[in-house]
Amino acid sequence: MKPDVLVAYPLRPRFLEALEARYTLHRLDQATDKDAVLAHAGPLCTAMVVNGHVAVDAAMLDRMPALKLAACSSAGFDLMDLDAMTRRGITLTNTSTALVDDVADTAVLLMLAARRRLVQADAYVRSGDWGRQGMFPLTASTAGKRAGIVGLGNIGLAIARRCEAMGLAIGYSGRNPKPGVAHAYFPDPVALAEWADILIVATPGGAGTAGLISAAVLEALGPQGTLVNVARGSVVDEGALIAALRDGRIAGAGLDVFLNEPHPDPALTALPNVTLYPHHASGTEETRDRMAQLTLDNLDAFFAGRPLLTPVN
């Protein structure tokens, strides 16, 4: 008999087909009566497929007494009670290793687009203003500047490699200095922002980093500074960011993530000095395939008794 797996969030179609061929699936994601699915499947399923968009709290875990693996198909797991999982002997896996390059590329994309005013310049050409009004205003260079990275994990390191190749000096902040990393370490984001021309946020989300990029950090970044966020909207004090952009206390921002998604604050989206992307840094066919495959590989490893590929806890 095939093992029972609860699907709280689907994989991409061809990976879902592979999942269905290997396991007996209980489709919580499709259920109109979720309580009924949990009542039936909860005692049977030792594994579940989930995603960062799904809340997995203690109440849900109470309905799944047999659960031992939560295979998350995203990097983020902000809505999941990791402490409760750990206490119950449930391992969470995620797919952060599968999306490093595309997220790092997007950070660079947003940095350059914000500093060179790509969106505004595109509109300037399309509208005919170039012909009517002459050359577009001068913008800010990037080469030779200082890039401060908040969170030097796998994604942060990939961003650092790209920025270094483009001629930027690199600094970073985090809980502790990274062994073997030659870049300048700063004990907190305020100190890093004081040093940096560009501040790139690549730290995990969650309660521990909520509001980490505060009004004081933005003030330290200064009126020529650029903020880039490819982490989570919660990491930035969005009210302080709106005020800093509006008042010219920072020059601009490039944002992939927002506090309220998919409905960002209109006060933010109306500003001319912010470049916006719809939480799509990992949104390529190739990366989403790798994320789905890694989720499937973790499930296969679990049921085969092999070590998990990307355990979080």
- pLDDT (0 to 100) of residue 65: 97
| Contact in structure between 72 and 97 (CB atoms under 8 Å) | no
Residue 288 near residue 68, CB atoms below 8 Å: no
Q: Specify the pLDDT at position 117.
A: 98
- The one-letter amino acid code at 287 reads T
Active site residue 232: yes
Return d(Cα 129, Cα 112) in angstroms, integer: 22
Q: What is the pLDDT of residue 67?
A: 98
Query: Residues 85, 313: contact at Cβ < 8 Å?
Result: yes
Cα dihedral: 182, 186, 188, 191 (round 10): -140
Q: What six digits make up the tokens of 296?
A: 């499937």
CA distances in angstroms from 308 to 108, 159, 255, 299, 313, listed in the order given: 32, 27, 33, 8, 11
* Residue that the structure tokens 């355990």 belong to: 311
Catalytic residue among 26, 117, 183, 232: 232
In the set 17, 164, 261, 286, the catalytic residue is: 261
What's the rounded Cα separation, in Å, for the pair 299 and 290?
Answer: 14
Angstrom distance (rounded) from CA 163 to CA 169: 8
User: How far is residue 103's CA from residue 80's CA, in Å, rounded to a whole number?
Assistant: 22
- For 234, list phi and psi in degrees, rounded to 5: -65, -20
List Cβ neighbours of 154 (8 Å cut-off, separation of 6 or more).
96, 97, 100
Is residue 246 among the annotated active site residues?
Answer: no
Average pLDDT per 10 consecutive residues for the chain, totaling 313 residues: 96 96 97 97 97 94 97 93 96 97 98 98 98 98 98 97 98 95 97 98 92 98 98 97 98 98 98 98 97 98 98 96
pLDDT value of position 206: 86
Q: What is the DSSP string of 34-100?
A: HHHHHHHHTTT-SEEEE-TTS-B-HHHHHT-TT--EEEESSS--TTB-HHHHHHTTPEEE--GGGSH
Locate 62 and state its tokens.
Answer: 């109470």
pLDDT of residue 236: 98
What is the structure's pLDDT at 155? 97
Active site residue 261: yes
To the nearest 10 degrees (0 to 180), the angle between helices 13-22 and 285-304 is 10
Tokens of residue 259, six digits: 């506090």
